[in-house]
Amino acid sequence: MQLDIIYALEPIFVAVIAYIFIGERLTAQGYIGAILVIAGIVLSQWLEYRNSKAAAQTSFSIPTSGIHEQH
């Protein structure tokens, strides 16, 4: 999943590198797009965390301490 995050952040990395090396600046649309990309990543990671946490809470194991062998 981390590789997906790196690919999703690629446009933002490119914008930062373009700013550093050639002084290119983002327009308002560029900033809005960057915010949307980051918000989408945060939302998807939060949903994945929430779903994995819910799945861990609903999983159960068979209790063995209350079972007695009959002779």
pLDDT tens profile 19-56: 999 999 989 999 999 999 999 989 988 888 888 887 77
Question: Does residue 61 come out as left (phi exceeding 0), alpha (psi in the -120 to 50 range) or beta?
Answer: beta
pLDDT, residue 53, reads: 80
Mean pLDDT of the 61-71 span: 58
pTM: 0.63
Q: In angstroms, how far is CA 51 from the centroid of its own chain?
A: 12
pLDDT, residue 67, reads: 58
